[in-house]
Amino acid sequence: MDSAAAALDRLAGTAASKPVALLAEAFAAGGHELALVGGPVRDAFLDRTSPDLDFTTDARPDRILELVRPLASAHWDVGRAFGTIAARIGGETVEITTYRTEAYGDQSRKPEVAFGDDLETDLARRDFTVNAMALRLPDRVLVDPSGGIEDLMSRTLRTPGSPDSSFGDDPLRMLRAARFSSQLGFEVTAEVREAMARLAPRLEIVSAERMRTELERLVGSPSPRAGLELLVDTGIADLVLPELPALRLTVDSEHRHKDVYEHSLIVLEQAIELQDARRKAAGSEDTAPDLVLRLAALLHDIGKPATRRFESGGAVSFHHHDAVGASMAKKRLRALRFDNDTIARVATLIELHQRFFGYTEGAWTDSAVRRYVRDAGDQLEQLHILTRADVTTRNRRKADRLGHAYDDLETRIAELAAQEEMQAVRPDLDGEQIMAVLDVPPGRIVGEAYRFLLELRLEEGALGEAEATTRLLEWWKDRPGR
């Protein structure tokens, strides 16, 4: 984290940018307050680039529109009933929200919103102190009534008021706490953690869509493990993603098989690291989190509790946990209102993640390798990463053996792909055309002519029908023994 002076310099630069300056001038001229608030202010202190320009004001939504319309190339109501207007100004998308308070009723899935009249009250109702800072415009005065800067410096997540009050106002904030712990690398206070555990059942009134959005952001964060562990430890995961804490049921010291919950978190971490490494090796500039891969890594073994069997001799088996897990993942992701494509792709990876281990038990035929590629389809790269990430054994010899086996499989896949690409090359004229050009019947001559044209294609690339015909006739004229 940078010094406060450096952060204020960055905030000053943001305030001087075209869209911010235009808005500040317009609202001041219109007799209204305006402040840059939340994420952009927090991220300035963390030396992060904020993707958002969020503002708050005492102006009501209709008045916001009046002031914004002359400046905007476009504007729209993203949540007018909640006081939010969005606009495109100076090439940037901005959101401007009226000062407000909000709270959920006992059974309501939507918060009740009341507009407010002062900035400090608006900041007091926000989720965490690090998000409850604002920069008044155009004067550029920092407003931090809850000690957000101190919490930023100590990397602490704390609510402006009591956690019970904050989470009672909006239970989704408990999921946001987990998300920010992963996204920002912050620790929640003991008071916040206790309130999350106590108030977890309140999440039942929050819509599945809102919970899914927070889960996506958490899983897509740089280090999702911390947030996921917080959800499990506080009991929130029992409501949002119960298949994850259920993995702890497979821990059995007597039979000494691995901790599947811990294993799943490690697989998620390894999948992220492997994808980053493979992208870098390929020269890719893509840094976007692969939500499908990450969800599949997290959920790949959720079928194990339902399929666990104790065998003779103390062994434990999980037969068909891949198929069972794929089905369970579909059901959970549907309940969270994920889109059909994401659901199908996550399920495919889970269903296929065990397939490779048969490769180590005996040589696969070329057709078996082709089936592996065919079944993975355009998710082959994701399957490569997931399968490699699934090796978490501490036995170095076993890990090396599996790694070398998968290296061999990837090599065979590449060789077969090159071979099939070569086999797909065709000359510019087919057999019927050759017979017509040379005026010959089917037979050995047609085969020789075909091979001649194929060699030309391989040597010189596509010639086109006219040039191929000319070259074929020259070959025919010069052919010995004709």
Q: Has residue 400 got a pLDDT over 90?
A: no
Spatial distance between the Cα atoms of 188 and 179, rounded to a whole number of angstroms:
11
306 three-class SS: helix
Distance CA 358, CA 363 (A): 9
Q: What's the distance, CA 460 to chain centroid? A: 44
Report the alpha-carbon angle 98-38-49, nearest 5. 130
312: number of Cβ within 10 Å: 5
Structure tokens at 31: 């007799």
Beta strands in 120-249 (DSSP E): 134-137, 141-143, 156-157, 187-188
Which carries the bigger pLDDT value, residue 40 or residue 423?
40
On the question of a common fold for 1-149 and 155-240, the answer reads no
Q: What is the pLDDT of residues 135-177, one digit of tens each?
A: 999 999 999 999 999 999 999 999 999 999 999 889 999 999 9
- 363 secondary structure, DSSP code: P
**Tens-place pLDDT, residues 283-318:** 998 989 999 999 999 999 999 988 888 777 667 778
Q: Across residues 174-198, what is the average pLDDT?
A: 96
Three-state SS at 88? strand
The most confident of 114-123, 292-301, 374-383, by mean pLDDT: 292-301
Would you say how long the chain is, in residues?
482
The residue whose two tokens read 């889970």 is 350
pLDDT, tens digit, 9 for 90 and up, residues 2-43: 566 787 788 878 877 888 999 999 999 999 999 999 999 999
CA angle 22, 26, 27 (to 5 degrees): 120
For residues 27 and 58, give the distance between their C-alpha atoms in angstroms, rounded to a whole number.
Answer: 10
Q: Which pLDDT value is given to residue 104? A: 65
Average per-residue pLDDT for the chain: 88
Query: What gap in Å lies between CA 296 and CA 293, rounded to an integer?
Result: 5
Of the two residues 220 and 408, the one the predictor is more confident about is 220
**What is the reported pLDDT for 103?**
62
**Can you give the pLDDT at residue 329?**
97
Identify whether the C-beta of residue 113 lies closer than 8 Å to the C-beta of residue 13.
no
* More confident position, 83 or 387: 387
**Which helix (DSSP H) or strand (DSSP E) does residue 103 occupy?**
strand 100-103
Give the pLDDT confidence score for residue 310 in this predicted structure: 78
Cβ neighbourhood burial of 145 (10 Å; 0-12, 13-18, 19+): middle
Q: Which has more confidence, 194 or 310?
A: 194
Who has greater pLDDT, 363 or 236?
A: 236
Mean pLDDT of 196-220: 95
Name the residue among 130, 147, 226 with its Cα closest to residue 183: 226
SS3 354: coil
Please, what is the end-to-end C-alpha distance for the chain in angstroms? 84
pLDDT band at 134 (very low <50, low <70, confident <90, very high): very high
CATH class of 1-149: alpha beta
Cα 121 to the chain's mean position, in Å?
35
Cβ proximity of 285 and 308 under 8 Å? no
What DSSP line would sit under 75-87, residue for residue? EEEEEGGGTEEEE
When pLDDT is averaged across residues 458-465 and rounded to a whole number, the result is: 79
In CATH, what number does 155-240 get?
A: 1.10.110.30
Q: For 39-43, 76-80, 270-274, which range has the lowest pLDDT when averaged over its residues? A: 76-80
Strands (DSSP E) found in 168-244: 187-188
Residues paired with residue 188 on neighbouring β-strands, in sequence order: 157
pLDDT at residue 106 greater than cutoff 70: no
Nearest by Cα to 382 from 287, 275, 238, 456:
275
Instruction: Tokens for 416, please give them.
Output: 């077969």
| Extents of the domains making up the chain | 1-149, 155-240, 247-423, 431-478
Q: Look at residues 239, 242, 227, 134 and name the one whose alpha carbon lies nearest to residue 184.
A: 227
Quick check: 256 pLDDT over 60? no
Residue 255 pLDDT = 42
CA gap 393, 403 in Å, rounded: 11
Mean pLDDT of 451-456: 86
Edge-to-edge strands, sheet with 54-57: 74-79, 84-89, 92-98, 54-57, 34-37, 134-137, 141-143
Instruction: Report the C-alpha gap between 149 and 153 in whole angstroms.
Output: 6
Residues 6+ apart with CB under 8 A from 414: none
Confidence of residue 254 (pLDDT cuts 50, 70, 90): very low
Percent of the chain residues past pLDDT 70, beyond the cut: 92
CATH for 247-423, options being 1.10.3210, 1.20.5, 1.10.3470, 3.40.1560: 1.10.3210
319: its two tokens? 């037969």
Over residues 82-103, the mean pLDDT reads 87
283-to-222, 364, 382, 388 alpha-carbon distances in Å: 20, 31, 17, 20
**Is 69 a residue whose pLDDT tops 60?**
yes
Q: Which of 61-65, 105-109, 478-482 is predicted most confidently? A: 61-65
- The least confident of 178-182, 381-385, 417-421 is 417-421
Mean pLDDT of 355-363: 74
Tell which wins on pLDDT, 314 or 215.
215
Q: What is the mean pLDDT of residues 333-346?
A: 97
